Amino acid sequence: MMFEIVISQPGQGDALGKLAPGSYIVGSDPQSHIQLDLPEVSARHAQFIVRDNVLYVIDLNSSNGTYVDGSLLIPNTPAETHPGSVIKIGRLNIMARGPVMDAAPAPAPVSPAASSASPPQASSAGEFITPKREKVPKLTISGVPDVARPVIQEIKRHAHAELLKRLNLKKMVLSGIDEKALEERAKITIREVLSELSIPLPTGVSSEMLEREMIQEAIGLGPLDYMIERDDITEIMVNGPNQVFVEMKGVLYRTDTAFADNAQVMAAIERIVSPLGRRIDESSPMVDARLPDGSRVNAIIPPLSLVGPSITIRKFSKNPYQVSDLINFGSLTAEMAQFLEAAVLVRKNIVISGGTGSGKTTLLNVLSSFLPNRERIVTVEDAAELQLNQEHVVRLESRPPNIEGRGEITIRDLVRNSLRMRPDRIVVGECRGGEALDMLQAMNTGHDGSLTTIHANTPRDCLSRLETLVLMAGFDLPLRAIREQITSAICLVVQVSRQRDGSRKITNISEITKMEGEVITMQDIFVFTQTGWDEDNRIVGYYEPTGNIPSFMDEIERAKIDLNISIFDPKKYHRKK
């Protein structure tokens, strides 16, 4: 979407211009984005900002002023224009026409008879009613007003260019300078640069705000530092330099913070991946990594990302969630937790199934906390995220290929190697390929009590996906043989789901029982039933046992684990929302 303007000058024809979203300096200086070579136009006369299909105009303390619809603008204060508004700079009139599609083809007419689908709802006048889209709520992080953000971006771009000339940060880091001394040196230089810039700060923005943002981008992770410090933010999503979203308490928010430009986003990615020995460039434009606190990071850059460098950070709590926390969140009940603990203690193989962001890794962490301290545990992950507190834990992490395309170590390689490490339990962060076959074989050959996660929407889908992953191992195995492996290896499938209100819930705890012909049979032990929505638009429902008794109940009793069989009786169960 472009914003169209028409520049009219006495004695000359009209000039049509289209502005993409961004910031434009207007003036007589040859370096201006829109150069107006007239004596009454100052070198840096005004600034145009196109944001959310609206054109804002800011007078930059010009000598003759800037007018919008006949009104003189207050210097350094953004003024919003409307389609048809006239901006006057000296003898020039600039008319704001409004947003237009950039070279978009006109939509072809659709005949109602040509479609069997129901037509869109129409008004009495015959015009289609466009459904209103709910705006993403905004979360204040930096305190910079929206209209001032493009001006701040322009200031930061100029300041960063000057900062690079005066301060070789990379060389200072390589020389082993103390982090505190590096920060102080950067602060002093940034203050000097900002004091020399001719662009005034817009209303509502203090020099302290700008200084902090620049320090974060110079030696830290930019605006990400704001969000990483906050425990209530669970996900951070950067869509290019100007859009930063977060998830907080299951709700998506757009923040008021941003990076200076694409280069600063790239610098943040480099600071994350470099200490881990990973790289990102045009030849390898995707990378998975982690922060020092274990938070998962994914980055993807142009040419694959069309919006600029993109970062997704899934944060983990500084103090890992305990089972009591999940009970308080309403993700499961105390009875379900007791049953899962008993299943772990009697060494039942468990698969946690769910979609992206449903809480699989969090639940895996909680189930891992039930593992006895006296056992040797080997964890296998793509990016080390699990936070186990047992004494005897060996953590293995896969490795991507180097710049020459060599040296890759896959999850499957690590699962095979873990079998030679005398493990009592193997915990695989996620099965997503041929390692599923090695995992099943390990579960079937004496490594009972293993745990893993898998992407699937239901317990039945989980089994189908496991079959697909086993076939990815490259062996032409008959489906019946694969299903027999799954039936004998896996005992429980725990299905987790991220609900529409942002809450995470265990929707099914299902036991794999046996094979009947070509079909794997399952029975639900606990299920979650939704009954509706409350006045705050939160899901209302209850957890309930189905009445099915797990087939390994006698093993629980022989292990002298205190688990009352009455928790499986739906008649004695009080429905809990």
Among 244, 279, 314, the domain-final residue is: 279
What's the confidence (pLDDT) of residue 123? 40
Lowest model confidence (mean pLDDT) among 201-215, 405-419, 519-533: 201-215
In the predicted structure, residue 536 carries a pLDDT above the cut 60: yes
- The CATH code of the domain that includes 338 is 3.40.50.300
CATH number at residue 53: 2.60.200.20
The Cα diameter of the chain in Å comes to 99
pLDDT at 413 over 80: yes
In a domain, 300, yes or no: no
- Same domain? For 268 and 361 the reply is no
Residue 127 covered by a domain: no
Of the two residues 325 and 192, the one the predictor is more confident about is 325
- Confidence band, pLDDT 50/70/90 cuts, at residue 245: very high
* Domain assignment present for 295: no
Considering the domain architecture, whether residues 80 and 165 belong to the same structural domain is answered as no
Q: Look at residue 454 and tell me whether its pLDDT is greater than 50.
A: yes
Give yes or no: residues 164 and 48 share one domain: no
230: in domain: yes
The residue-averaged pLDDT of 532-561 equals 89
Residue 305 located in a structural domain: no
| Residue with the larger pLDDT of the pair 419 and 206 | 419
- Write down which residue in 279, 304, 338 finishes a domain: 279
Please tell me the predicted confidence (pLDDT) of residue 178: 66
Distance of CA 399 to the CA centre of its chain: 22
Arithmetic mean of pLDDT, 403-415: 84
| Same domain as 82, residue 198 | no
Residue 21 lies in a domain: yes
Q: Which domain holds residue 557?
A: 323-570
| One domain for residues 156 and 228 | yes
Residues 349 and 229 in one domain: no
Looking at 84, 100, 116, the residue that finishes a domain is 100
Residue 459 has pLDDT above 90, yes or no: yes
Least confident window among 24-28, 72-76, 141-145, 176-180: 176-180
Residues 53 and 196 in one domain: no
Residues 111-161 have pLDDT tens digits of: 333 333 344 444 444 444 445 556 778 888 888 777 777 777 777 877 777
265-269: which pairs have CB atoms within 8 A and are 24 or more residues apart? 265/222, 265/238, 265/240, 265/241, 265/308, 265/309, 265/311, 266/301, 266/309, 267/217, 267/222, 268/217, 268/221, 268/222, 268/224, 268/311, 269/299, 269/301, 269/309, 269/311
Q: Do both 265 and 336 map to the same domain?
A: no
In a domain, 121, yes or no: no
574 — pLDDT class (breaks 50, 70, 90): low
Same domain membership, residue 333 and residue 400: yes
The model's confidence at residue 168, banded by pLDDT at 50, 70 and 90, is low
The three-class DSSP label of residue 18 is strand
Q: Do 258 and 345 reside in the same domain of the chain?
A: no
Considering the domain architecture, whether residues 337 and 237 belong to the same structural domain is answered as no
Query: Which of the pair, 167 or 562, is modelled with greater confidence?
Result: 562
Give residue 114's pLDDT: 36
**Rounded mean pLDDT of 227-238?**
89
Look at residue 125 and tell me if it is in a domain: no
The total number of structural domains in the chain stands at 3
Cα separation, 428 vs 506, whole angstroms: 20
Residues 461 and 383 occupy one common structural domain: yes
pLDDT at residue 344 in the model: 94
Q: What is the pLDDT of residues 60-107, one digit of tens each?
A: 888 889 999 989 998 888 888 988 899 999 888 899 988 876 554 434
